[in-house]
Structure 1
Amino acid sequence: MAETEAEAAPLLKEIFNRERLRHFAAETAAIYPAFDCEKFLALASEGLDGLSIMQRLRQIAVAYHHVLPGGFERNLEILRALAPRIDHGFASITLPEYVALYGHDHFDLSMDALAFFTRFGSSEFAVRHFLLKDLERTLKVMQRWSLDENEHVRRLSSEGCRPRLPWSFQLKALIADPSPVAPILENLKSDPSLYVRKSVANHLNDITKDHPEWVFDTIAHWDQNDPRTGWIIKQALRTLIKKGDSRALHLFGVGHKAEVTVDAFAVTPPAVKLGGSVKIAARLTSTATEPQKLVIDYAVHYVKKAGGTSKKVFKWKEITLASGAACELSISRAIRNFTTRVHYPGRHPVELIVNGEVLATSSFELLP
Structure 2
Amino acid sequence: MMADSTEAAPALKEVFNRERLRHIAKETSAVWPRFDGKRFLKLATAGLDDLGIMQRMRQTAVSLHETLPHDFPEALPILKELAPRVGHSFAAITLSEFVALYGQKHFDLSLEALKLFTCFGSSEFAIRHFLVADFDRTIAAMRDWAEDENEHVRRLASEGSRPRLPWSFQLKNLVADPSPTGPILERLKTDASLYVRKSVANHLNDVGKDHPDLLVERVSGWDLGDKDTAWIVRHALRTLIKKGDSRALALIGSTGKAQIRVEAFAVEPASIKIGERITTRAKLTSTSETAQRLVIDYAIHYPKKNGISRKVFKLKETELLPNGECELAISQTVKDLTTRKHNAGFHRVELMVNGEAVAESGFDLVIPA
TM-score normalised per structure 2: 0.96
3-state SS of 1:13 partner: helix
Separation in structure 2 between the aligned mates of residue 221 and residue 283 of structure 1, nearest angstrom:
36
In the TM superposition, what whole-angstrom CA distance separates every residue of 1:60-101 from its partner, at most 9, and x where no partner exists? 111111110231112110000001011211000000000000
The within-5 A match list for 1:253-292 is 253-292=253-292
**Amino acid of the residue matched to residue 293 of structure 1?**
R
Number of aligned positions between the proteins: 362
Report deviation, 1:218.
Answer: 1.6
Separation in structure 1 between the aligned mates of residue 263 and residue 130 of structure 2, nearest angstrom:
56
Query: What fraction of aligned residue pairs are identical, expressed as a percent?
Result: 60
Q: Does 1:360 align with 2:359?
A: yes
Separation in structure 2 between the aligned mates of residue 267 and residue 220 of structure 1, nearest angstrom:
37
In the TM superposition, what whole-angstrom CA distance separates every residue of 1:331-361 from its partner, at most 9, and x where no partner exists? 0011111111111111000000001100000
Separation in structure 2 between the aligned mates of residue 235 and residue 150 of structure 1, nearest angstrom:
23
Separation in structure 1 between the aligned mates of residue 65 and residue 231 of structure 2, nearest angstrom:
43
In structure 2, the residue matched to 1:346 is 345
Report deviation, 1:255.
Answer: 4.1
In structure 2, the residue matched to 1:83 is 83
Separation in structure 2 between the aligned mates of residue 274 and residue 323 of structure 1, nearest angstrom:
41
Separation in structure 1 between the aligned mates of residue 308 and residue 223 of structure 2, nearest angstrom:
40
**Amino acid of the residue matched to residue 168 of structure 2?**
S
Runs of 4 or more, structure 1, over 6 Å off, are none
Structure 2: 5+ residue stretches without partners: none
**Amino acid of the residue matched to residue 182 of structure 2?**
A
In structure 1, the residue matched to 2:144 is 144
3-state SS of 1:87 partner: coil
Separation in structure 2 between the aligned mates of residue 226 and residue 110 of structure 1, nearest angstrom:
37
Root mean square deviation, CA, Å: 1.3
Separation in structure 1 between the aligned mates of residue 70 and residue 144 of structure 2, nearest angstrom:
31
Structure 1: 5+ residue stretches without partners: none
Separation in structure 2 between the aligned mates of residue 278 and residue 220 of structure 1, nearest angstrom:
38
Report deviation, 1:316.
Answer: 0.7
In structure 2, the residue matched to 1:164 is 164
**Amino acid of the residue matched to residue 150 of structure 2?**
N
In structure 1, the residue matched to 2:106 is 106
Separation in structure 1 between the aligned mates of residue 96 and residue 266 of structure 2, nearest angstrom:
50
The within-5 A match list for 1:244-323 is 244-304=244-304, 306-323=305-322
In structure 2, the residue matched to 1:231 is 231
**Amino acid of the residue matched to residue 356 of structure 1?**
G
Report deviation, 1:307.
Answer: 4.0
Q: Retained in 1: the 8 A contact 2:16–2:57?
A: yes
TM-score normalised per structure 1: 0.96
Separation in structure 2 between the aligned mates of residue 146 and residue 295 of structure 1, nearest angstrom:
33
Q: Retained in 1: the 8 A contact 2:255–2:293?
A: no
**Amino acid of the residue matched to residue 249 of structure 2?**
L
Separation in structure 1 between the aligned mates of residue 106 and residue 245 of structure 2, nearest angstrom:
46
3-state SS of 1:282 partner: strand
In structure 2, the residue matched to 1:328 is 327
Separation in structure 1 between the aligned mates of residue 98 and residue 274 of structure 2, nearest angstrom:
41
Q: Retained in 2: the 8 A contact 1:247–1:255?
A: no
In the TM superposition, what whole-angstrom CA distance separates every residue of 1:255-298 from its partner, at most 9, and x where no partner exists? 41100000000000000000101010000000000111111000
Answer with 247-256 or 327-336: which moved more: 247-256
3-state SS of 2:92 partner: helix
In the TM superposition, what whole-angstrom CA distance separates every residue of 1:3-51 from its partner, at most 9, and x where no partner exists? 9xxx97x711111111111111000001111100111111111111111
